[in-house]
């Protein structure tokens, strides 16, 4: 152990006449600790909200969507086969989209109708985990007495005052005649086969899902679909996979992804996370710069020690390192304690869920926690860097002391 580190560690120990300086050093470390712990937990909560929001946004909406700008897609089977060859694609499924008015015996509501293939593994994996009552198995079953079976959101079921097994009528606008110039309506009789709950208000309130074949027949689009949804193996590869699909299909198809049609939500959340991080980093900065006052007091208290060290051959650089090391030791101790408390806080919040939030507003009942190792590394580096910067000025002042001037005074 070199002499600079030995002296820096010795200056951390309190003697009776240096008790005040030692107490301020402890409080500086505690301030750094609290700032680091707060920043770690806030970043984990913000990340948790981001992941939860992303999952709920993408619960029943496509991650990547392929559509024909000129209308429906007829050769969708061949297109799906081409898309499946793109690296990063986990699966693809065709869909039908429509709008209409749903009416039960006790209520009515405007709805978006989505026709999906219930036998497609992609559809089953996405929909089945949100089904609260009933089953998706009957969505494509042919029943001559009705036009099909539907699954509706929980909020829509409450508006219609309907449950699984109840009948529901659907009225939709249909373009007919030469060049689809005439607007008519079509009424269908359906039965509720399942009720789902995603936690996304717009989805649970407005979406009605039925089988692809029944939707094609009902909307007059036999052999055609309105689009193809693509599931990704890794959501972080959204942009490169989107570009690869565009290159594979050419300019005849429009390819969009969830980041593009949820751009405002994604950008807003990123901005909010940055603002919170900056505010809490400033809190760490305030605690770190308490080191300036503490180290200046140490320098003033240890002027004779500095003079003796220089007289014995210590260089200005060596004296500077003593006080830089003291600042780094205090900052590192506070940072390490803060990281430990932050990790413990994240573990407790994720395990015991004792902080409850309004589910109707946020879609979840407790604080979501997603602590990332990278966040710990970045916060630790930022905290120690601030403590090092705070220690630079007092260390430079200590190195400028002249032994002769000190002994004369």
Domain ranges of the chain: 3-56+265-408, 70-252
Q: Tell me: the pLDDT tens digits for 211-227?
A: 998 898 888 888 899 99
Smallest Cα–Cα separation from 161: which of 118, 107, 231? 107
Residue 15, number of CB atoms within 10 A of its CB: 10
> Is the pLDDT assigned to residue 404 strictly greater than 70?
no
What's the confidence (pLDDT) of residue 402? 67
pLDDT at 299 over 90: no
- pLDDT at residue 174 is higher than 60: yes
Residues 56-83 have pLDDT tens digits of: 777 667 889 999 888 889 889 999 999 9
Q: Average pLDDT of 356-383?
A: 84
Tell me the pLDDT band of 229, cut-offs 50, 70 and 90. very high
Residue 18 has a pLDDT of 59
pLDDT tens readout for residues 4-32: 788 777 777 656 555 666 777 888 889 88
Q: What angle do CA 399, 400, 403 make, to 5 degrees?
A: 90
In angstroms, the CA 89 to CA 240 distance is 11
Residue of 97, 87, 59, 70 whose CA lies nearest to 228 = 97
Task: Give residue 161's pLDDT.
Answer: 92
Q: Which residue has the higher pLDDT, 141 or 87?
A: 87
| 3-class secondary structure, 363 | coil
How is residue 199 written in tokens?
Answer: 């936690």
Q: How far apart are CA 409 and CA 400, in angstroms?
A: 16
The structure tokens listed for 187 are 């009424």
The residue ranking higher by pLDDT, 183 or 345, is 345
How far apart CA 57 and CA 52 sit, in angstroms, is 8
pLDDT at 180 over 60: no
Among the ranges 297-306, 328-337, 394-403, which has the highest mean pLDDT value?
A: 328-337
- The per-residue pLDDT for range 159-173, each reduced to its tens digit, is 999 999 899 999 988
| Mean per-residue pLDDT, 135-150 | 83
Within a 10 A sphere around the Cβ of 406, how many other Cβ atoms? Answer: 16
Which tokens in the block code for residue 336? 């390490």
Residue 181 has pLDDT above 60, yes or no: no
In this prediction, residues 93-115 reach a mean pLDDT of 91
Share of the chain above pLDDT 90, in %: 28
pLDDT band at 210 (very low <50, low <70, confident <90, very high): very high
- pLDDT of res. 16: 54
Q: Which two tokens stand for residue 119?
A: 């036998």
Q: What is the pLDDT of residues 328-352, one digit of tens each?
A: 888 899 999 999 999 999 999 888 8
Residue 263 has pLDDT above 90, yes or no: no
Q: Do the Cβ atoms of 184 and 174 come closer than 8 Å?
A: yes
Query: Rounded mean pLDDT of the chain?
Result: 84
């Amino acid at each position: 152990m070199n002499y600079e580190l030995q002296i820096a560690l010795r200056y951390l120990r309190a003697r009776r006449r240096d008790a005040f300086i030692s107490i301020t050093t402890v409080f500086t470390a505690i301030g750094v600790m609290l700032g680091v712990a707060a920043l770690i937990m806030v970043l984990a909560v913000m990340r948790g909200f981001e992941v939860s929001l992303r999952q709920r946004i993408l619960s029943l909406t496509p991650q990547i969507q392929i559509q024909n700008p000129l209308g429906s897609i007829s050769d969708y089977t061949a297109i799906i086969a081409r898309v499946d060859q793109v690296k990063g694609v986990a699966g693809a499924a065709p869909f039908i989209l429509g709008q209409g008015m749903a009416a039960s015996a006790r209520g009515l509501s405007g709805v978006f109708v989505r026709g999906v293939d219930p036998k497609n593994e992609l559809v089953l994996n996405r929909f089945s985990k949100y089904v609260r009552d009933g089953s998706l198995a009957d969505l494509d079953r042919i029943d001559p007495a009705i036009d099909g079976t539907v699954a509706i959101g929980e909020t829509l079921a409450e508006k219609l005052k309907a449950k699984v097994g109840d009948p529901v009528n659907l009225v939709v606008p249909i373009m007919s005649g030469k060049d689809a110039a005439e607007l008519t309506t079509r009424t269908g009789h359906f039965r509720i086969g399942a009720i789902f709950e995603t936690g996304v208000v717009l989805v649970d309130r407005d979406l009605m899902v039925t089988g692809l074949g029944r939707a094609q027949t009902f909307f007059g689009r036999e052999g055609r679909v309105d689009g193809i949804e693509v599931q990704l193996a890794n959501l972080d590869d959204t942009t490169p996979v989107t570009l690869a699909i565009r290159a594979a299909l050419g300019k005849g198809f429009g390819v969009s992804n969830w980041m593009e049609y949820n751009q405002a939500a994604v950008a807003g959340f990123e901005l909010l996370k940055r603002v919170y991080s900056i505010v809490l980093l400033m809190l760490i900065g305030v605690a770190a710069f308490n080191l300036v006052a503490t180290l200046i007091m140490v320098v003033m208290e240890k002027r004779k020690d500095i003079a003796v060290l220089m007289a014995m051959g210590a260089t200005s650089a060596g004296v500077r390192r003593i006080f830089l090391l003291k600042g780094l030791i205090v900052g590192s101790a506070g940072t390490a304690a803060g990281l430990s408390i932050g990790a413990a806080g994240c573990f407790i919040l994720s395990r015991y869920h004792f902080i409850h939030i309004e589910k109707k507003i946020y879609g979840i009942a407790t604080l979501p926690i997603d602590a990332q190792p990278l966040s710990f590394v970045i916060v630790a580096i930022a905290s120690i860097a601030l403590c090092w910067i705070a220690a630079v000025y007092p260390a430079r002042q200590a190195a400028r002391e002249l032994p002769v001037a000190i002994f004369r005074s």
